Amino acid sequence: MNDIVKGFRKIVFLSFPPEVSGRPVVCNLAKLFDLSFNILKAQINPRQDGALTLEIMGLEENFQRAQGYLKENGVKISSIAQRIFRDEETCVHCGVCTAMCPTHALSLDRASRQVLFEVDKCSACGLCTRICPMHAMNVELDENSLLELPRRRRPSPTERV
Ligand code: SF4
Ligand code: SF4
């Protein structure tokens, strides 16, 4: 039995150039590196750029080797933490987002009455960016990304008063 249960888990964003979209590079993560993965979001079209949000599980050393494999094959890999953030000054801890967040990355800490944001649990689904009344949640995307998450304008400091 492999050690997945106490192993490493990470949500990553992959972007593929057109020449890679038809190759089995993601399947090879399981075959060559004994990693498991869930596809959380995908947009792959033959002969076009592609984008995948993956939850990857396995041993950390295998994940590190797999990252090298993906890069060698022209796949750009970035962590979700680089893509989603909460504007701490804007969030009023109303809790609206906690009911919608499918991965429980946003949760209410009853003792402090603050809404916690655990970016490692976030799948960058974008739901919170749509419902947050303060526009505090933001998802940044590559210019050539195919993921269709909403880009919301951040209010300027003068608009916040
Ligand atoms: S909905 Fe927006 S303002 Fe309310 S807790 Fe969530 S991030 Fe903060
Ligand atoms: S994008 Fe927002 S709603 Fe979606 S998993 Fe991340 S924190 Fe939760």
* Domain layout of the chain by residue ranges: 4-81, 85-146
Q: How far apart are CA 109 and CA 20, in angstroms?
A: 43
Q: Return the residue whose CA atom lies nearest to atom 8 of ligand 2.
A: 101
Domains 4-81 and 85-146 share a fold: yes
Q: Return the residue whose CA atom lies nearest to atom 2 of ligand 2.
A: 128
| Residue-wise pLDDT tens digits, 66-85 | 999 999 999 999 877 667 88
Both tokens assigned to 142: 């590559």
Distance 17 CA to ligand 1 centre (A): 35
- Ligand 1 pocket test, pick from 97, 104, 117, 139 with the greatest ligand atom count within 8 Å of Cβ, gives 97
Distance 91 CA to ligand 1 centre (A): 5
Q: Is the CB of 126 under 6 A from ligand 2?
A: yes
Distance 100 CA to ligand 2 centre (A): 8
| Residue-wise pLDDT tens digits, 143-158 | 434 333 333 444 444 4
pLDDT above 50 (res 2): no
Q: Return the residue whose CA atom lies nearest to atom 6 of ligand 1.
A: 97
In the chain, the percentage of residues whose pLDDT exceeds 70 is 80
Distance 66 CA to ligand 2 centre (A): 25
Q: State the pLDDT confidence band at 50, using cuts at 50, 70 and 90.
A: confident
Any idea which architecture 85-146 has in CATH?
Answer: 2-Layer Sandwich (3.30)
The CATH number of 4-81 is 3.30.70.260
| Residue-wise pLDDT tens digits, 102-145 | 889 999 999 999 999 998 888 777 889 999 999 999 877 544 34
First to last CA, the chain: 57
In the chain, the percentage of residues whose pLDDT exceeds 90 is 41
Least confident of 14-23, 44-53, 93-102, 142-151: 142-151
Nearest alpha carbon to residue 105 among 11, 19, 8: 11
Least confident of 4-13, 18-27, 101-110, 136-145: 136-145
- Whole-number mean pLDDT of the chain? 81
